A = this chain, B = another copy of it.
Amino acid sequence: MSTAQGARARARIEVTAAIKDEARRQLAAEGAAKLSLRSVARELGMVSSALYRYFPSRDELLTALIIDAYDSLGEAAEAAHATAADADHVRRWTAVCERVRAWALAHPHEYALIYGSPVPGYAAPETTVPAASRVGLLLIGIVRDAHRRPGLADLPLPGELRPEAERMAADLAPDLPPQAAVALVAAWAELFGLVGFELFGQFHRVVEDRETFFRHAAARLAHGVGLRP
């Protein structure tokens, strides 16, 4: 039987956590490109080959960090949503958007890891999907609330788009009108376009008061999906 897992098993999860912590430290400090297995091992006082008992490759380590980053961002966004629970739909939407931006500015390298170019060979493994969906699900929830109250403006749905819109709505939010689903996905992508452009320097000498600019852009996105104050 043995209730308490042996000392070995406990040591394993501790070492695994220590590796991830040190790797995350190096990622935050220098970026994914400069993160090296050898230097993580060195910092932890072990030899590089020992590290392969815990992660089969550098890419696997990075994947673990990717999932953690998605979770950290999702948690932050959910917390922002919770503290704005009493506000109207537009304010809840912008609260989530602003928190996403704040998280990105605070964790630029983690953000680049998950929303920048895929760093490894490429193709994010399927295991990252649940963690990656958290912000999206949050935004869907806000629009769903607005639709139930009711308070979701009706959007036009061009005929050409109807089949895809219905498919998307069926997968994402069967209770929402199809045009809301497409508007939502578009706004979701556009939100990260705004954040990414600011973070990666495209707004250099273009936007100065980025906080104000972003707040209004986020409000315009909310308006675009049909939310009204």
Contacts and interface: CB of A to CB of B under 8 A. Distances in A.
A78 to B, nearest CB: 19
Indicate the size class of the contact surface on chain A.
35 or more
A206 B168 contact: yes
B206 A172 contact: yes
Given A116-B116, A182-B216, A196 B194 contact: no
Contacts of A86: none
13 contacts: A31-B122, A33-B33, A33-B119, A116-B116, A129-B204, A132-B202, A167-B209, A182-B217, A183-B220, A185-B213, A186-B213, A191-B193, A193-B196
Interface of A: 31-33, 112-113, 115-124, 129, 132, 158, 160-161, 163-164, 167-168, 171-172, 182-183, 185-186, 188-194, 196-198, 200-209, 212-213, 216-217, 220, 224
